[in-house]
Amino acid sequence: MTVIEPDPVVQLREQMRERHLTPLWELEGEIMGVRPHPGTRPWLWRWSQLYAIAERAGELVPIERGGDRRAIALSNPGQGGMPYATSTLWAAVQWLNGREVAPAHRHTSQAIRFIIDGAGSYSTVEGDRVQLERGDLVLTPPWTWHDHGSDSEERAVWMDVLDIPLNNYLDAPFFEPHPDDSQKVTAAPNASVLKYGVGQLRPAWEPPSLGRSPLQTYKWSDTRRALDNLAKVAADPFDDVVLEYTNPHTGGPVMATFTCWMQLLRPGVHTRAHRHTGSSVYLAYEGRGATVIEGVRFSWTAGDMFVIPSWATHEHVNDGADPALLFSVHDTPLLKAVDKYRSEPHDSPDGRQRVTGEFS
């Protein structure tokens, strides 16, 4: 009769499991990766579908307390069922019918809105009301009261980006409904634009606004002018003509956890490819073009939204005759703040990837 001696390593492993302990040596390759292998997938959502669904929601779904916003989230299929665009960023289409109000609340998530269409709508942040017009970037800094509403019959539609996934990952969410649906407007109309809208000049008697941008909205007319001016004199090999929105009191990004860009791809431009840590969400704002991500071509036209994951090689193409404009949001400030930003150019001779497929 043979007695089978239990394997001591197996026994040890079992003891560890019982005591909530795990040996590194069994999983080093898994948890200390040689390079990033994001779950987040490159993905694209078509504007035609986004618009149709948002419009239908506008007919069927009221805006009520508890839901608070008619926002439809880009849900990356690589986020394990969570409604997140990337592991750090939430992105959504928001639809507001004429005469509606999206009720006032505040939260610790950091938020921006980029206005796609509509007229007569507004956003009020801490008593300062700004109009929402196509191409405007509107900020909602963390823990500021904000509500959105419409003074016209026309619907408004915009893109929301928030750091909800990061906020939850860090176990740092706080949320509070305002007692009223609409907070009182206490500032003069467009006060922050009037005070801070020429970024290189500021009220001399005020201390600088270090923690957050003093500008509540970056109007499209300024952005367009800056973009056209820049296009005359300079461009980046990887991103062509691209501007970062900044806090003019510090030069820093508009939020601590993410930054916003407006980008113009000149007709005929095909940028060099590169990759970097950090994830991004894009909105095709005007024109048409394509972005090649890890060898797959994502063709886009105005209104489409897409995601580039961390460390995914990517390049942009405008093979049309008109400029193509991209608005985008990047979690780069977060990566840089914690010393985890790294980038490198693609190493092919012409700096481009070999295209192996087309997203559809």
Site string for a copy of itself, 215-254 (x = CB under 8 A): x--x---xx-xx--xx-xxx-x-xx--xxxxxxxxxx---
Binding segment toward a copy of itself, per CB under 8 A, in 84-92, 146-154, 286-294, 352-360: 84-92
d(CA 256, CA 62): 33
Q: Measured from the CB atom, is 85 or 354 closer to a copy of itself? A: 85
DSSP state of 313: -
If one asks whether residue 350 binds a copy of itself (CB under 8 A), the answer comes out as no
List phi, psi (to 5°) of 191.
Answer: -55, -45
d(CA 232, CA 235): 9
Q: In what order do the strands lie in the sheet with 274-276?
A: 343-345, 274-276, 314-317, 288-293, 296-301, 357-358
The residue from 119, 256, 297, 359 that contacts a copy of itself (CB under 8 A) is 256
d(CA 240, CA 325): 11
Strand partners, 217: 138
d(CA 195, CA 203): 7
The residue from 127, 152, 175, 357 that contacts a copy of itself (CB under 8 A) is 175
| Residue 323, both tokens | 């400029």
Site for a copy of itself in 269-328 (CB under 8 A): 277-279, 309-311
Binding segment toward a copy of itself, per CB under 8 A, in 86-94, 116-124, 265-273, 284-292: 86-94
| Residue 267, both tokens | 């007709």
If one asks whether residue 101 binds a copy of itself (CB under 8 A), the answer comes out as no
If one asks whether residue 188 binds a copy of itself (CB under 8 A), the answer comes out as yes
Binding segment toward a copy of itself, per CB under 8 A, in 113-121, 174-182, 288-296, 314-322: 174-182
Query: Nearest distance from residue 14's CB to a copy of itself, in Å?
Result: 11
Residue with tokens 């977060």: 334
The residue from 1, 3, 60, 321 that contacts a copy of itself (CB under 8 A) is 60
Q: Measured from the CB atom, is 238 or 282 closer to a copy of itself? A: 238
Query: Nearest distance from residue 119's CB to a copy of itself, in Å?
Result: 22
d(CA 162, CA 74): 12
d(CA 123, CA 129): 6
Query: Nearest distance from residue 1's CB to a copy of itself, in Å?
Result: 27
Name the residue among 181, 196, 170 with its Cα closest to residue 146.
181
Site for a copy of itself in 144-173 (CB under 8 A): 163-164, 166-173
The residue from 261, 282, 298, 327 that contacts a copy of itself (CB under 8 A) is 261
